[in-house]
Amino acid sequence: MTPRHHNPGRPIVLNLPQETVTAFSISALSTYALIPELNCAFDMGDCLLDAVPLERVFVTHAHGDHTRCLFRHDSLRRLMGMTPATYYVPEQTVKGFVGLAEAWHALERPRGAPARMPVIVGMEPGSTVWLHRQLAAKAFPVRHTVPSLGYTLYDVRKKLKAEFHGRPGRELAQLRKDGVAFEEEHWLPRLTFIGDSTIDTLYEEPHVGESRVLFLEVTYILEDEREMARERGHTHLDDLLKFLSDCPGVLRNEHIVLKHFSMRYDRSTIRNTLRTRLPEDFLERVHILI
């Protein structure tokens, strides 16, 4: 029996030092994470009213629990007179999502109204999107049962190159006029969102451990579910524990948000199992998305 407290309409609010994230993630039911300060969201398994103003949605993969309300988001924006949002999806899924958007549009559009399609952008590992001059998102590959991407948001800061330190402003202004590149970019990983994934992603993409905030799935936590986790392309708690002992020091994140638990577990099973089994120095950085 599904515990009745899993309600995608009642998200968890994470008050992190640099951003507030409103999120929900239970396996097969729904996953979404909204970051109003950064005007973006990850996945759209459900669409809260709070999600409607967000102009960019990064989609990890096409499974329904992550995308079912993608075009509900678009419809609500249209209804409220907003411009179309941009939906970033794995390249292999663009055709499918365009077809879905067209079907919804044909079903919902009043007769004679002009066509207004959402913007759907295909992403590949390494694709970069600028949210504004100092914030960029970069995609990386993720292992699941269908084409999947993770995304890292970077604060991008310009700093003086070492050889120009201490030069007066006047001189730097002249150098700028002369077209001399005296600054270099620093990309500071701020937040990484991994959707559904096996543990392989952490072994293959260790850079995710440098983000200040990391969203990570642990769908299965009970002993007899290891095989199921493997078959369904998910992470088991045992996989995570093995990774932590195989690769100590890789996950240096200040905040680790564990999510996408199987909907069979109740809250106390999840809390008690994680508290008993995760090492203390890891646990003190963990937020549990239930």
Q: Which residues bind Zn ion (CB under 5 A)?
A: 63, 65, 196
**Whose Cβ is closer to Zn ion: residue 105's or residue 234's?**
234
Residue 5 in tokens: 């407290």
Could you tell me the smallest distance in angstroms from the CB atom of residue 170 to Zn ion? 57
Supply the minimum distance, in Å, between the C-beta of residue 196 and Zn ion. Answer: 3
Instruction: In angstroms, give the least distance from the CB of 263 to Zn ion.
Output: 10
Q: How far is CA 82 from CA 36, 52, 72, 179, in A?
A: 16, 9, 13, 40
What is the pairing mode between strands 255-259 and 213-217? parallel
- At its nearest, how many Å lie between Zn ion and the CB of residue 42? 12
**Strand 86-90 relative to strand 56-58: parallel, antiparallel, unpaired?**
parallel
CB of residue 63 to Zn ion, shortest distance in Å: 4
Query: How far is Cα 105 from Cα 103, in angstroms, rounded to an integer?
Result: 5
Q: CB-wise, 6 or 63, nearer to Zn ion?
A: 63
Cα–Cα distance between 42 and 246 in angstroms, integer?
A: 29
CB-nearer residue toward Zn ion: 196 or 225: 196
Nearer to Zn ion, 148 or 253 (CB): 148
Q: Measuring CA to CA, which residue among 223, 189, 222, 225 is closest to residue 206? A: 189
Half-sphere exposure at residue 264, Cβ-oriented, CA atoms within 13 angstroms = 6
User: With respect to Zn ion, which residue has the nearer C-beta, 3 or 147?
Assistant: 147
Q: Tell me, what amino acid is at 80? A: M
